[in-house]
Structure 1
Amino acid sequence: MKSVLLLNASPLGADARGHALALRAVDNLRAAHPGLRLLARDLSRGGFGAVDAAYAHAIIGGAGPEAPAFRRSEALIAELEQTDALVISTPMHNYTVPAALKLWIDLVLRAGRSFGFRDGRKVGLLADRPVLVVLASGGLIGSGARQPDHLTGYLTDVLATIGIGAPQFLCLEGLARAETAQGVLAGARARLDALPVFGRAAAQRAIAS
């Protein structure tokens, strides 16, 4: 593994608690793969493109990848093509992905570029790679949850569409309760360190070998 792409979709930026765990995962990867290159993108800052009229006309008209309207989309897809692992830090907003991550998705999923069609079904054109999604939520989203989760299934389908399967989800649940937030974070750190590929145990095995 030579490079990893880190996406942060939290409006809190570097101060997001999920982002700190995502960086820990990157550190574990670096321990296992010395010289690993990190490409980081803070999606909440914007400035990486828009699905505007020009983009829509280029899609409808079947414009090639060199079309000016696709310049930002091409840059985002190229980031995926140039990296070997993907780490996404995102909050859950209103049961699903925040607007910044949705825009990234809309620019990266492009027919003829990141996915094609076979027998009427979408087929990914990008290489598969390990993926970790650090998901932060104020409420519960797992067992015993009282709110719907339209994020994990949706993001799994999105990644599969471009050829990336089996993402690992590390969920930080119940962060809205200050009295339990620290315990939630400690438990998440322990679960992260035990994960294959992104955990400390995996890094230690790689170093030992």
Structure 2
Amino acid sequence: MTRILLLSSGPYSDVSHGYRLAMDAIAASGIDNVQITERDLVRSPIPPIDRDYAIAVTSRATPDAKEFAWSERLIVELEQHDMLFIVTPMHNFTVPAALKLWIDHVIRINRSFHATPQGKVGLLKDRATFVLVSSGGFYVGERAKQADFLTPYLRYALASIGIDDVHFFPLQGLVFGPEAVAQTVHEARQQLSEKLPLAIANL
């Protein structure tokens, strides 16, 4: 069985272009016996990092401490899946708050990474990760008019816990009418159709 974790972090949830493209790509990939776990970070928000969590981290509480309950749940969920899809908009040049909160829970010292003199060393198994990034404007290519802090930040954040096999697919120019939407979805679909079978073959 191939287990896929699909994270959605945008306001349009399962009607977004990224979500529908991710589901279509998985269905068209020919994966046998696939299990998809969906976590909608907007419809079912996770709690923020609070004072008790911060105290538990700095006091080196045990991994089973109740303050880490949500963090542990999300890390275990990630560990139990072979592949990760992240469907996200670009909000103000970077990740939306809902996805940032998931990252804050998942990146935890002595659980998903070790701190060393050379920096963070990830403790989780690497897995193919596909990030579909929606944007009303353009942030890559000749028509780009804004900076992209999402891609380098998310790549670095995932690498810090051991996930290096990360692929980004822009869905940009979504406010420029149906033709622009159709074009960017087509391009992303083609890129996914090339990358996804390779990832499946390496499972």
TM-score by length of 2: 0.91
Distance in 2 between residues matched to 1:102 and 1:43, nearest whole Å: 10
**Deviates further, 18-27 or 83-92:** 18-27
Segments of 5+ residues of structure 2 without an aligned counterpart are none
- 1:49 Cα deviation (Å)? 2.7
Paired residues, what number? 199
The equivalent position to 1:87 in structure 2, one of 78, 85, 97, is: 85
Matches within 5 A, 1:19-30: 19-29=19-29
The Cα shift of 1:59 comes to 1.2
Which one-letter code corresponds to 1:19 in the other structure?
Y
Question: Counterpart of 1:165?
Answer: 164
Q: What do you get for the CA RMSD once the two structures are aligned? A: 1.8
2:185 is the alignment partner of 1:185: yes
- Distance, in Å, in 2 between the alignment partners of 1:57 and 1:46 is 26
- Which of 11, 19, 33 aligns to 1:35? It is 33
Distance 2:26 2:151 in 1: 21
Residue matched to 1:148: 147
Query: What's the CA shift for 1:117?
Result: 2.2
Supply the distance in 2 between the matched residues of 1:163 and 1:28 (Cα, whole angstroms): 28
- What are the within-5 Å matches in structure 2 for residues 31-180 of structure 1? 31-32=30-31, 34-144=32-142, 145-179=144-178, 180=180
Change (3 A) 1:49 1:25: farther
Equivalent position SS for 1:140? coil
Report the equivalent of 1:12: 12
1:124 deviates by: 0.2
What residue identity is the alignment partner of 1:143?
A: G
SS at match of 1:89: strand
Cα distance in 2 for partners of 1:83, 1:166 equals 14
Deviation for aligned residue 1:181: 1.6
1:46 deviates by 3.7
Report which stretch shifted further, 53-62 or 78-87: 53-62
In 2, distance between residues paired with 1:112 and 1:187? 40
Q: In structure 2, how many angstroms separate the alpha carbons of the residues matched to 1:2 and 1:18? A: 21
Superposed CA offset, 1:21-40 (max 9, x none): 111233245x23x1122111
C-alpha separation in 1, matches of 2:102 and 2:119:
22
Aligned-pair CA distance for 1:141:
1.0
Amino acid at match of 1:100: A
4+ residue runs over 4 A deviation: none
Displacement of 1:182 in angstroms is: 2.1
Amino acid at match of 1:150: F
Give the TM-score of the pair, scaled to structure 1: 0.89
Q: Which amino acid aligns with 1:62?
A: R
| Identity within the alignment, % | 43
CA offsets 1:97-136 (integer angstroms, 9 cap, x no match) = 0000000000000000000023341000000011100111
Give 1:50 deviation, angstroms.
1.8
- Which consecutive unaligned segments of at least 5 residues does structure 1 have? none
